[in-house]
Chains A and B, each alone.
Chain A
Amino acid sequence: MAEGAQRVRGIVASETRPVVPAHIKLRHDPGRGRWIILAPERLFDPDEIAVEVLKLCDGQRTVADIAEHLAKEYNAPVADIKADIIEMLQDLADKGVVKV
């Protein structure tokens, strides 16, 4: 970050390509039998859907691609899924868990 550079909030939309940055660790915790997200001085407790979504946040796929993939997997309407994951990813982007 160059001095004085403008920093702006990243907004999640259909064509966004979200990525989980290297310092955020999505990890299975065998001792507790659950997935966890390790972040600076934070722990996040993702449900099954969130784990699926985050595994697909590779900086290549768009939110639309991810929604389509999950719609097939869960046999659910793609529009509903997209709206749901946009809301989730925006919240995670605001907390620095995904970069958009």
Chain B
Amino acid sequence: MNEHSPAHVKETAMPLGARQPGEEEKESTEMADEACARAPIGLLAELTHRCPLQCPYCSNPVELERVNTELTTQEWQDVMRQAAALGVLQIHLSGGEPTARRDLVEIVKTASECGLYTNLITAAVLLKREQLVQLKEAGLDHVQISIQDTDTRPENADRVGGYKGGSAKKKVVAGWVRELGLPLTINAPIHRHNVDNVDGIIKYAVELGADRVEIAHVQYYAWALMNRASLMPTREQFNEAAKIVEKAREDLKGIIVIDAVVPDYYAKYPKPCMGGWGRGIINVTPSGRILPCHAAESITHLEFDNIKDKPLAEIWLNGDAFQKYRGTDWMKEPCRSCPRREIDFGGCRCQAFALTGDAANTDPACSLSPLHERWAKVAEVESHEAAPEFVYRRPGGASRKPGTQKTPATSDV
């Protein structure tokens, strides 16, 4: 213990979604390495694909799972017990909209009793105060509320989410979360319809009492890929937003933690997607399919096991889909001999598959990919053209023509 001693606490961000590694994470990958060698750290539980919102950048697959295929309460509770036994530490209760499940409190209670850290990822518009009280009593540890824009621009927020009155309702629910003493994160997906308001969004998160805010540029898979031309900001807009985030991090140090996710079309290196395939995160779909990543079903030749057929540990350790792109043995050049191969793991397998037809290719987000230049150009071009109408996220929505949908409208839950 002296002034030259290293930091006593190392930090590891959960590799949920597709976060760009920050400085802190580069220093502290050894925790993740050791931990992941045995078990996933986090489990993303997509409890349902039902959602009252219709965000055109939804990370759910374009083919949404139907309510009659969803796991039962007992099956979800069993997933929680198996996850804890496997060594999972954090459960991210997501969807769709997780509060559309009437048994959410029971599932949280079981997860909490197993010692799992429970994180509710919600759009908040369905939540009632009484339900939040019950969730807290059941042991819920943290609430993340997504917003589309600030409360000063509710028309824009509600248009993007496809849900009238959503912006105002989210503000009310955020207030309840803080009243009940639960920690709050605000998640703000960023795109060309709100990229001019990043500073306002960060300040709004502070006003709402959030401890963390995610300035999360949209990742262009699934629904977002379909809506890319409507959503992609220009490079100049992205750079400006990045500067605002840097300044806010300094100005708001000790007040709010700001996490940023960059749009990889404007990055030099790809994201270490999910922190590496089959390495730190396990995803369970509403019907119990076990995936290495929430978008993995877009890789059409992969086959996925279901929790109804096999134990979670067996699927994690030996499942074909997990083994296929785990580690570095599957890599081709230029990844195979790249010094960054264990930093970014060749980027995103789903993006490599969607854009090159082979999931083992280098993600075109990487500047070393032979396709990178042509691909990056797409963003430059699309972001400067007029934005087409959104293809809203709703069952069957992908097959409808854009422009024929009412805006905003409310779907059934």
Interface residues of A (CB under 8 A from B): 1, 3-4, 7-11, 21-23, 25, 27, 29, 31-32, 36-38, 40-47, 49-50, 53, 74, 76, 80-81, 83-84, 88, 91-97
Residue of A with least CB distance to B86 = A31
B211 cross-chain contacts in A, Cβ below 8 A:
40, 96
User: Contacts A23-B141, A31-B38, A95-B257 given: A50-B1 contact, CB under 8 Å?
Assistant: no
B39 cross-chain contacts in A, Cβ below 8 A:
31
B406 at the A interface (CB under 8 A): no
23 A-B contacts (beta carbon < 8 Å): A1-B178, A8-B255, A9-B254, A11-B254, A22-B181, A25-B117, A27-B115, A29-B87, A32-B38, A40-B119, A40-B185, A41-B14, A41-B119, A41-B212, A43-B11, A43-B35, A43-B41, A43-B89, A44-B11, A45-B12, A80-B1, A81-B1, A94-B253
Interface residues of B (CB under 8 A from A): 1-3, 5, 7-14, 16, 28, 31, 34-35, 38-39, 41, 87, 89-90, 92, 115, 117, 119, 141-142, 144, 175, 178, 181-183, 185, 206-209, 211-212, 253-257, 259
- Complex partner residue of A32 from B7, B14, B28, B87, CB under 8 angstroms: B87
Q: What DSSP secondary structure best describes chain A's contact surface?
A: mixed
Residue of A with least CB distance to B121 = A41
Tell me if A46 and B9 are in contact (CB < 8 A): yes
Residue of A with least CB distance to B256 = A7
Tell me if B2 and A80 are in contact (CB < 8 A): yes
Tell me if B183 and A40 are in contact (CB < 8 A): yes
Known A3-B207, A32-B38, A42-B14; further 14 A-B contacts with Cβ < 8 A: A8-B255, A21-B183, A32-B34, A41-B119, A41-B142, A42-B11, A43-B12, A45-B12, A50-B8, A53-B8, A76-B1, A80-B1, A84-B5, A95-B257
